[in-house]
Structure 1
Amino acid sequence: MTETSVEEQSTVVTNAPANVEVDTSYENDSSYGDELSAYSASLTSSVLDYRHENGRRYHKFRDGSYLLPNDESENDRLDMAHEMCLQVLDRKLYLAPIKKPQRVIDLATGTGLWAIDFADQHPDAEVIGCDLSPIQPTLVPPNVKFLVDDIESEWAYEDKPFDFIHARYLAVSIRDFAKLIKQCYRSVKPGGWVEFQDWDGYPYSEDGSLDDTGLQRYFNEAYGAFEKAGYEVRPGPKLEEWFRDAGFVNIHVEKFIVPHGVWPKDRHLKKVGAWMQAQAEAGFEGGALAALTRYKNWTKEEVMVLASQARTDGRRHDVHAMFDFYVVYGQRPEV
C-alpha cells in the first residue's frame, strides 16, 4: 500500500463502485444464515462483578462509562463483528505498514479476538489487550495478555511506549476521541504507527429506500440517546482531522462501504452485508437498552418493539441500507 504524506492525504473508497447495484435476482433462502452460524462461536467469560439491568449484564468497573452489555449474547455479537471486519478488509487485521513490532496494544479489545490473531501472526511481539470487562478467554498465545483498564482515563504507558496501537469499533463508546488519539500519540514510539478503524454510525441509502423505516428510526432514536449522553457516534469521517491535530504524519485514510443485508449484487458486498446484518440483529436490543432507558426514559418494552421493527425492516430486500467504515492510520514522526 502506498503511503501518503500529510500534504497528499486522500480518502479512497476501496471496496465498491460509486453506486452499489441491487441484486434483483435475490431470493430469500437460508444459505447465508447457515454460513453465519457456521462461523460464529461464543467465548467463555470470566465472571467477577457485574451490573444487571433489564435482563442484561453490564461492566461494573467504571460503572456507567460504557452503555453496551458484556454478557454472552453481546460477546457472541462481538465475535461476529470481528469476522465482519475481516471480511471488509480482505482478512487483514490492519492496514498500517508496520514492520517487526515488538510491543503492541489493542484498545477496548472486547473478547480479544483481534489481539489473539495479531499475537499468532507476530509471535515475537508482546501484545496487550485492554478493556473495561474481563471477558477474554484464558487459553491464549503466550505473547498476549489482557488488562482491565479505562482507555479514557490517564494512561501510564508513556515510559514504555508501543510500536503499534490499534483501536476498532469505538463508536458509541468514547466521549473524547481527540483526547484519546493524543494519548496514543504520546504512548507510541517515534516512528511507530497508530490505526483506528471506525464507523460513520448513521446508515443511509442511495435510493431513499431507508427513509421512514424501522431501521432508520432505530438508529435515530438510539444514537440520539448516545449523543445526549455525550458519546461520539460517527467518528469515522473525523479521524483524519484528529490524527493531524495530534501531530501524526503519513496519515492514510480508506473508506469502505458496508451494506446491511444481502441485497447487493456484488458477491463480496453480499457476504459483508450478511455479516453486518447478523451482528446488527444480535445487537439491536442490547445496543439501545441502556442508552434509551437511562437517558430518554424509555421502558424495556418500548426498546424491544423498536428493535423488532429495525430487525424486520432490515431484512426487507427493498431496503438498501449501508454504512461507511473508515480505516485511518498515522505515524509519529521519527524525531
Structure 2
Amino acid sequence: MSLSIPLQHESDDPSSGEAVSPRSIIEPDSDLSDSAQSDFTSTKSANQSIFDYVRENGRTYHRYQAGTYPFPNDQSEIERMDLLYEILKVLFKGKPHFAPLKHPRKAMDIGTGSGKWAIEMDSHVPQITGTDLSPIQPEWVPNNVKFVIDDANEEDWMVDPDSHDYIHTRVLLGAFQDFREIIAKSYKYLKPGGWMESQEYMSTMYCDDGTMRTDNKFAEWTKTQDQAAMSMGRPLRIANKLKRWYEQAGFVDVHEEVFKLPVNSWPKDPQFKMLGRFNETQIYDGLQAFSLQMFQKGLGWTKDEIEVYLVQVRKSLSDRTTHAYHRIYVVWGRKPTEEEIARR
C-alpha cells in the first residue's frame, strides 16, 4: 500500500590502519585551533492523517507504518540530513551519481528523505519518483518529480517490473531489516541494462595513525549504537557488504568506490578540514536522534540515561587530537541485458 503525494574487502577493525582507496592518507593539522515557478507543481494530496506524526521524547516520527524507521522526521533532523547531503556533494566533487547513465528516462530514489537529490536530478531524468515513509518533501517541485509515501519493504512498489533505468539509494543504514531485499526488488524493477546505485555511510570509526584511544567515547558510542540496532533487527554496518550483495542479486559491472570523511576538523587539507567541520556539526546535531529510539527500544535505556551518556560522547566527537574518519561507500551495478541473460 502506498500513498501518493504528486577498496577492497576490509576489516571491521577501526584501528587497523588499512588502506581503503587509492587516495592518499589525510594529513592532520598541527594547529588545533579552529580558524515557486511555472515549471513547478504541488504534490500535497495525501491523506492528512500521515501528517499527524508520532511524538516521543520531544521529537516527531513518521505516522505511516509507524515504528519501522527508528529516526525522527522533524525540522532539526531534516536540516541535519540536508547538511549531510551537501557534505557528500562536495566529497563526491559534485557528482549526483557514479553509474554511467545514458539518457535515462525513468528513475526512482528509495528513502528520498527531504527529496533534495530527486529534485536536483530533475534536469537529468524526465521522470523521477522519490519514496519515503515521511511526507517531509517540499510542496512545490519540478513537474517531472513526484514523491510517494511508501514502505520500500512492501512487495508492491506501484510500478511494473523492468520499468526503470536507474534506482538510487543514499544513507539508509538502519532503515531495513535486510537491505538485500531492497537490492533484489530494485533488480526486478530495473529495465535490462538499467543501473542501481547505493551511496552509504559506514558507521564504524577508522583511524590510520594510531591516535584513536581504546577508551574513545565516540567510538564506544558507535559500537553501542550498533549493538542496539542489531537487537532491533536494523543493522547499521551494511556499506562494506553492498558490492557483494549486488553481485549475489545478479548485477554485473559492479563497482565500488570508498571515500574518507573526517569526523571533525582535524585534517590540514583545507577541503577535508571544511568537510570535517560540517560533518562534526551534522553528527553533533544528530546524536540524540540516532540514540533515542535505538537505545530505548534496543537496550532498554531511559531518556535521562541517554542524555547523560551523550555529554561525554559530544566532547569526544570534538577532540581534534584523534584523527578519525568514517568511510563512505559508493556501489553501482548494472542489470544484465536480455542477450546477456540468455547467454548464461
**CA shift at 1:275, angstroms?**
2.1
Q: What does 1:256-335 align with in structure 2 at a 5 Å threshold?
A: 256-335=259-338
8 Å CA contact 1:105, 1:129 repeated in 2: yes
For the pair 1:112 / 2:115, whether they are aligned, the reply is yes
* Cα distance change of structure 1 residues 110 and 62 upon mapping to structure 2, 3 Å threshold: same
Stretches of 4+ aligned residues off by more than 3 angstroms? 9-16
**CA shift at 1:155, angstroms?**
3.1
8 Å CA contact 1:214, 1:306 repeated in 2: no
Q: Deviations over 1:176-219 (max 9, x none)?
A: 11111011100110010000011221112221424312211221
CA distance in 1, matches of 2:328, 2:156: 27
For the pair 1:16 / 2:19, whether they are aligned, the reply is no
CA distance in 2, matches of 1:118, 1:15: 29
8 Å CA contact 2:80, 2:282 repeated in 1: yes
For the pair 1:153 / 2:154, whether they are aligned, the reply is yes
For the pair 1:250 / 2:245, whether they are aligned, the reply is no
8 Å CA contact 2:170, 2:200 repeated in 1: yes
2:133 is matched with which residue? Answer: 132
8 Å CA contact 1:228, 1:295 repeated in 2: yes
The secondary structure found in structure 1 opposite 2:256 is: strand
Q: What does 1:12-161 align with in structure 2 at a 5 Å threshold?
A: 16-17=23-24, 19-29=25-35, 48-119=51-122, 121-122=123-124, 125-156=126-157, 157-159=159-161, 161=163
Which amino acid letter does the alignment assign opposite residue 206 of structure 2?
Answer: Y
**CA shift at 1:159, angstroms?**
3.8
2:41 is matched with which residue? Answer: none
Q: Deviations over 1:221-276 (max 9, x none)?
A: 22210111111211111001100011000111100011101101122222221221
* Cα distance change of structure 1 residues 262 and 230 upon mapping to structure 2, 3 Å threshold: same
Q: Deviations over 1:139-174 (max 9, x none)?
A: 111110100001112133234611000000011112
8 Å CA contact 2:162, 2:192 repeated in 1: no
CA distance in 1, matches of 2:20, 2:257: 6
1:38 is matched with which residue? Answer: none
The counterpart of 1:185, out of the listed 180, 184, 187, is 187
8 Å CA contact 2:264, 2:318 repeated in 1: yes
8 Å CA contact 1:158, 1:186 repeated in 2: no
* Cα distance change of structure 1 residues 167 and 147 upon mapping to structure 2, 3 Å threshold: same
Which amino acid letter does the alignment assign opposite residue 239 of structure 1?
Answer: L
The secondary structure found in structure 1 opposite 2:200 is: strand
Structure 1 unmatched ranges of 5 or more: 1-8, 30-45
Q: Deviations over 1:274-313 (max 9, x none)?
A: 2211111110001110111112111111111222222211
1:201 is matched with which residue? Answer: 203
Which amino acid letter does the alignment assign opposite residue 305 of structure 1?
Answer: V
8 Å CA contact 1:10, 1:252 repeated in 2: no
The secondary structure found in structure 2 opposite 1:192 is: strand
* TM-score relative to the length of structure 1: 0.88
The secondary structure found in structure 2 opposite 1:324 is: strand
The secondary structure found in structure 2 opposite 1:129 is: strand
8 Å CA contact 1:195, 1:329 repeated in 2: yes
8 Å CA contact 1:222, 1:288 repeated in 2: yes
The secondary structure found in structure 1 opposite 2:141 is: coil
Identical aligned pairs, as a percentage? 34
CA distance in 1, matches of 2:225, 2:21: 29
8 Å CA contact 2:232, 2:297 repeated in 1: no
8 Å CA contact 1:70, 1:133 repeated in 2: yes
**CA shift at 1:77, angstroms?**
0.6
**CA shift at 1:94, angstroms?**
0.8
2:172 is matched with which residue? Answer: 170
The secondary structure found in structure 2 opposite 1:140 is: strand
Which amino acid letter does the alignment assign opposite residue 156 of structure 2?
Answer: W
**CA shift at 1:74, angstroms?**
0.5
